[in-house]
Amino acid sequence: MYQVIKRIIDLLISGLTFLLFLPIFIPVVIALKLTGEGEVFYFQKRIGLKNTYFDIWKFATMLKASPSMGTGSITLRNDPRVTPVGKYLRKSKLNEFPQIINVLKGDMSIVGPRPLVDRTFGAYSVDVQAKVYNSKPGITGIGSIIFRDEEKLISASDMEPHAFYAAQIAPYKGALEMWYQENKSTLVDLQLIFLTAWVIIFSKSQLPYKFFPTLPKRPNELITK
Protein backbone atom coordinates (compact mmCIF):
# COMPACT_ATOMS: atom_id res chain seq x y z
CA MET A 1 0.00 0.00 0.00
CA TYR A 2 2.87 2.39 0.81
CA GLN A 3 4.29 2.03 -2.69
CA VAL A 4 0.88 2.71 -4.28
CA ILE A 5 0.36 5.83 -2.17
CA LYS A 6 3.93 6.93 -2.89
CA ARG A 7 3.38 6.67 -6.64
CA ILE A 8 0.12 8.62 -6.43
CA ILE A 9 1.88 11.36 -4.42
CA ASP A 10 4.73 11.37 -6.96
CA LEU A 11 2.33 11.87 -9.88
CA LEU A 12 0.27 14.52 -8.11
CA ILE A 13 3.23 16.58 -6.88
CA SER A 14 5.29 16.27 -10.07
CA GLY A 15 2.32 17.09 -12.31
CA LEU A 16 1.27 20.08 -10.21
CA THR A 17 4.85 21.32 -9.87
CA PHE A 18 5.39 21.12 -13.63
CA LEU A 19 2.29 23.22 -14.28
CA LEU A 20 3.10 25.78 -11.57
CA PHE A 21 6.71 26.22 -12.68
CA LEU A 22 6.02 26.27 -16.41
CA PRO A 23 6.17 30.12 -16.49
CA ILE A 24 9.68 29.87 -15.01
CA PHE A 25 10.66 26.84 -17.08
CA ILE A 26 10.29 28.62 -20.42
CA PRO A 27 12.50 31.67 -19.56
CA VAL A 28 15.16 29.33 -18.13
CA VAL A 29 15.19 27.31 -21.36
CA ILE A 30 15.60 30.52 -23.38
CA ALA A 31 18.36 31.83 -21.07
CA LEU A 32 20.32 28.58 -21.34
CA LYS A 33 19.90 28.45 -25.11
CA LEU A 34 21.32 31.97 -25.46
CA THR A 35 24.22 31.67 -22.99
CA GLY A 36 27.10 29.37 -22.14
CA GLU A 37 27.40 26.60 -24.72
CA GLY A 38 23.75 26.82 -25.72
CA GLU A 39 22.86 23.53 -24.04
CA VAL A 40 19.49 23.35 -22.26
CA PHE A 41 19.44 19.87 -20.74
CA TYR A 42 22.12 17.63 -19.30
CA PHE A 43 21.68 13.87 -19.32
CA GLN A 44 23.81 11.55 -17.23
CA LYS A 45 23.77 7.86 -16.37
CA ARG A 46 22.85 7.40 -12.72
CA ILE A 47 22.22 4.35 -10.56
CA GLY A 48 18.57 3.79 -9.70
CA LEU A 49 16.11 1.19 -8.40
CA LYS A 50 17.75 -2.20 -7.76
CA ASN A 51 21.07 -0.76 -8.98
CA THR A 52 19.94 -0.39 -12.58
CA TYR A 53 20.97 2.60 -14.72
CA PHE A 54 18.78 5.39 -16.03
CA ASP A 55 19.34 8.81 -17.62
CA ILE A 56 18.76 11.67 -15.20
CA TRP A 57 17.45 15.00 -16.53
CA LYS A 58 18.90 18.31 -15.35
CA PHE A 59 19.26 21.80 -16.67
CA ALA A 60 22.74 22.24 -18.13
CA THR A 61 24.69 24.26 -15.55
CA MET A 62 28.26 23.24 -16.35
CA LEU A 63 30.53 23.04 -19.37
CA LYS A 64 29.96 19.93 -21.49
CA ALA A 65 33.51 18.71 -20.87
CA SER A 66 33.13 19.03 -17.07
CA PRO A 67 33.28 15.27 -16.30
CA SER A 68 36.84 15.18 -17.66
CA MET A 69 37.88 18.52 -16.13
CA GLY A 70 39.00 19.49 -12.62
CA THR A 71 37.36 17.43 -9.88
CA GLY A 72 35.22 15.40 -12.28
CA SER A 73 32.02 14.09 -10.69
CA ILE A 74 32.41 16.29 -7.59
CA THR A 75 31.42 19.96 -7.76
CA LEU A 76 33.08 22.56 -5.52
CA ARG A 77 31.84 25.95 -4.40
CA ASN A 78 32.57 28.58 -7.03
CA ASP A 79 33.53 25.78 -9.41
CA PRO A 80 34.91 27.42 -12.59
CA ARG A 81 33.15 24.79 -14.72
CA VAL A 82 29.74 26.19 -13.73
CA THR A 83 28.27 28.68 -16.22
CA PRO A 84 26.96 32.10 -15.07
CA VAL A 85 23.31 31.08 -15.53
CA GLY A 86 24.12 27.67 -14.09
CA LYS A 87 25.42 29.25 -10.89
CA TYR A 88 22.02 30.83 -10.24
CA LEU A 89 20.15 27.65 -11.15
CA ARG A 90 22.27 25.55 -8.78
CA LYS A 91 21.94 28.03 -5.92
CA SER A 92 18.15 28.13 -6.28
CA LYS A 93 17.98 24.35 -6.93
CA LEU A 94 16.10 25.06 -10.18
CA ASN A 95 18.69 22.93 -11.97
CA GLU A 96 16.94 19.90 -10.45
CA PHE A 97 13.54 20.85 -11.92
CA PRO A 98 13.74 18.64 -15.07
CA GLN A 99 13.94 15.59 -12.81
CA ILE A 100 10.17 16.01 -12.58
CA ILE A 101 10.22 14.26 -15.97
CA ASN A 102 12.11 11.34 -14.38
CA VAL A 103 9.42 11.15 -11.70
CA LEU A 104 6.60 11.17 -14.25
CA LYS A 105 8.38 8.42 -16.21
CA GLY A 106 8.80 6.35 -13.05
CA ASP A 107 12.64 6.40 -12.94
CA MET A 108 12.62 8.45 -9.75
CA SER A 109 10.40 9.44 -6.86
CA ILE A 110 9.97 12.80 -5.14
CA VAL A 111 11.59 11.33 -2.00
CA GLY A 112 14.38 8.78 -1.94
CA PRO A 113 18.17 8.36 -1.92
CA ARG A 114 19.97 10.59 -4.41
CA PRO A 115 20.93 8.74 -7.60
CA LEU A 116 24.71 8.62 -7.88
CA VAL A 117 27.30 8.05 -10.59
CA ASP A 118 29.51 4.98 -10.36
CA ARG A 119 32.43 6.68 -8.62
CA THR A 120 30.49 8.20 -5.73
CA PHE A 121 28.30 5.08 -5.44
CA GLY A 122 31.49 3.06 -5.13
CA ALA A 123 32.44 5.08 -2.04
CA TYR A 124 29.59 3.41 -0.13
CA SER A 125 30.25 0.23 1.81
CA VAL A 126 29.22 -3.04 0.15
CA ASP A 127 26.28 -3.35 2.55
CA VAL A 128 24.97 0.13 1.70
CA GLN A 129 25.44 -0.49 -2.03
CA ALA A 130 23.29 -3.62 -1.75
CA LYS A 131 20.38 -1.86 0.01
CA VAL A 132 20.37 1.87 -0.75
CA TYR A 133 18.37 1.55 -3.97
CA ASN A 134 15.75 -0.82 -2.65
CA SER A 135 13.74 2.40 -3.04
CA LYS A 136 13.59 4.52 -6.18
CA PRO A 137 16.08 7.38 -6.06
CA GLY A 138 14.56 10.74 -5.21
CA ILE A 139 14.75 14.41 -6.08
CA THR A 140 15.09 14.96 -2.35
CA GLY A 141 15.64 12.78 0.68
CA ILE A 142 17.31 12.66 4.06
CA GLY A 143 20.79 12.53 2.50
CA SER A 144 20.06 15.54 0.29
CA ILE A 145 18.66 17.54 3.21
CA ILE A 146 21.48 16.84 5.65
CA PHE A 147 24.15 17.29 2.96
CA ARG A 148 22.71 20.49 1.50
CA ASP A 149 26.13 22.00 2.33
CA GLU A 150 28.13 19.21 0.65
CA GLU A 151 29.92 21.50 -1.82
CA LYS A 152 30.96 23.79 1.05
CA LEU A 153 32.29 20.86 3.08
CA ILE A 154 34.35 19.49 0.21
CA SER A 155 35.67 22.92 -0.74
CA ALA A 156 36.77 23.65 2.84
CA SER A 157 38.72 20.42 3.22
CA ASP A 158 42.47 20.14 2.70
CA MET A 159 42.00 16.63 1.38
CA GLU A 160 41.65 15.74 -2.30
CA PRO A 161 37.88 16.05 -3.03
CA HIS A 162 37.22 12.39 -3.91
CA ALA A 163 39.30 11.19 -0.95
CA PHE A 164 37.37 13.47 1.41
CA TYR A 165 34.06 12.27 -0.03
CA ALA A 166 35.02 8.62 0.42
CA ALA A 167 36.50 9.04 3.90
CA GLN A 168 34.07 11.50 5.49
CA ILE A 169 30.88 12.04 3.50
CA ALA A 170 30.04 8.60 2.10
CA PRO A 171 30.01 6.73 5.47
CA TYR A 172 27.62 9.21 7.09
CA LYS A 173 25.47 9.66 4.00
CA GLY A 174 25.24 5.88 3.75
CA ALA A 175 24.12 5.68 7.39
CA LEU A 176 21.43 8.29 6.70
CA GLU A 177 20.15 6.39 3.68
CA MET A 178 20.03 3.16 5.69
CA TRP A 179 18.00 5.05 8.30
CA TYR A 180 15.55 5.98 5.54
CA GLN A 181 15.28 2.39 4.34
CA GLU A 182 14.38 1.31 7.86
CA ASN A 183 11.94 4.16 8.58
CA LYS A 184 10.35 5.02 5.22
CA SER A 185 6.61 5.66 5.29
CA THR A 186 4.12 8.08 3.78
CA LEU A 187 4.41 10.31 6.85
CA VAL A 188 8.23 10.34 6.73
CA ASP A 189 8.14 11.18 3.01
CA LEU A 190 5.77 14.10 3.61
CA GLN A 191 7.98 15.35 6.45
CA LEU A 192 11.03 15.17 4.18
CA ILE A 193 9.24 17.18 1.49
CA PHE A 194 8.45 19.87 4.07
CA LEU A 195 12.02 19.84 5.39
CA THR A 196 13.39 20.26 1.88
CA ALA A 197 11.54 23.55 1.50
CA TRP A 198 12.46 24.55 5.07
CA VAL A 199 16.24 24.12 4.68
CA ILE A 200 16.25 26.00 1.38
CA ILE A 201 14.94 29.02 3.31
CA PHE A 202 16.79 28.34 6.58
CA SER A 203 20.00 26.74 5.37
CA LYS A 204 21.58 26.32 8.82
CA SER A 205 18.48 24.88 10.47
CA GLN A 206 18.83 21.78 12.64
CA LEU A 207 15.12 21.00 12.36
CA PRO A 208 15.69 17.64 10.59
CA TYR A 209 17.33 16.31 13.76
CA LYS A 210 14.38 17.51 15.84
CA PHE A 211 11.88 15.91 13.45
CA PHE A 212 13.84 12.65 13.46
CA PRO A 213 15.67 12.20 16.78
CA THR A 214 16.78 8.69 15.78
CA LEU A 215 18.93 9.99 12.91
CA PRO A 216 22.59 8.91 13.10
CA LYS A 217 24.63 11.62 14.83
CA ARG A 218 26.53 13.93 12.50
CA PRO A 219 30.32 13.51 12.90
CA ASN A 220 32.24 16.55 14.13
CA GLU A 221 34.26 16.58 10.91
CA LEU A 222 31.06 17.30 8.97
CA ILE A 223 29.78 20.20 11.08
CA THR A 224 30.11 23.46 9.17
CA LYS A 225 30.90 26.71 10.96
pLDDT of residue 224: 66
**Residue 71 pLDDT exceeds 60:** yes
Q: Cβ distance 198 to 205 under 8 Å?
A: yes
pLDDT of residue 82: 85
Q: Which is more confident, 87 or 179?
A: 179
Q: Which is more confident, 81 or 109?
A: 109
Average pLDDT score over residue span 182-189: 97
pLDDT of residue 141: 96
pLDDT of residue 158: 85
Q: Which residues pair with 47 in a beta bridge?
A: 53
**AA letter at 126:** V
Q: Quote the mean pLDDT of the chain.
A: 90
Average pLDDT score over residue span 147-167: 87
Which range marks the domain in which residue 178 is found?
Answer: 2-222
Digit-coded pLDDT (tens) for 24-50? 888 888 988 888 778 889 899 999 999
Number of separate domains in the chain: 1
**Residue 65 pLDDT exceeds 70:** no
**AA letter at 161:** P
Q: Is 56 exposed, middle or buried (0-12, 13-18, 19+ CB in 10 A)?
A: buried
CB neighbours of residue 27 within 10 Å: 9
For the chain, where are the E strands, in sequence order?
Answer: 41-47, 53-59, 109-111, 138-140
